[in-house]
Amino acid sequence: MNIPYKTVLFVIAALAMGGYFYKKYFIAPKISFPNLTIYDLEGKAHQLDEFKGKPILVNFWATWCGTCLQEMPELYDASKILKEKGIETILISDETPEKVRNYQDKSGYDFQYFTTKLDREDLKIYSIPTTYLMDKNGNVVFSKVGKERWSSPEMIKSLIDKL
């Protein structure tokens, strides 16, 4: 069988582009969390290493993100279960504190909400929600791009087992 070289080049280019976009939009990027400055809704600056000594689930989200909002009930239920196991859950948005506070007031979810002055793209996060599980030493042991059934028994067990 004789395949034209242009077809071969096209297939190679398509595979390369597919791999690039898959990595960009479906793989959680590595982030230097200890160096990430986040702000509570009153504007006070924090570093994620303030949470060192306890595991933490970090969710990057936005109030305009339909998928983020769809997973909130699951994430909220999971956060209650994880808290009993000593795992904190925080949500980080690159929106204004006012927008996040309005969402908090309307939703009733009492997460620990933070904002960052960096755009998600500055962090190389191109898809949200993007979630990380960090162990008590601040090492990322799990990451996930996209919506998840966070409160399912299988996911809770999986998260705890990673610690």
Cβ burial of 114 (10 Å; 0-12, 13-18, 19+) is: buried
| Domain total in the chain | 1
Q: For residue 15, what are its two tokens?
A: 């595979």
Q: State the residue range of the domain holding 155.
A: 5-161
Q: Enter the pTM of the model.
A: 0.84
User: At 63, which CATH number?
Assistant: 3.40.30.10
For tokens 């933070």, the residue is 114
Tens of pLDDT, residue by residue, the chain (163 residues): 677 766 655 556 555 555 554 455 556 657 767 678 999 999 999 988 888 899 999 999 999 999 999 999 999 999 999 999 999 999 999 999 999 999 999 999 999 999 999 888 888 888 999 999 999 988 899 999 999 999 999 999 999 999 9
What local confidence, expressed as pLDDT, does residue 4 receive? 73
Q: Is 97 left (phi over 0), alpha (psi -120 to 50) or beta?
A: alpha
What local confidence, expressed as pLDDT, does residue 13 receive? 55
What local confidence, expressed as pLDDT, does residue 119 receive? 84
Residue from 118, 134, 110, 139 nearest 39 by CA:
118
Instruction: Report d(CA 116, CA 134) in Å as an integer.
Output: 18
What local confidence, expressed as pLDDT, does residue 36 receive? 85
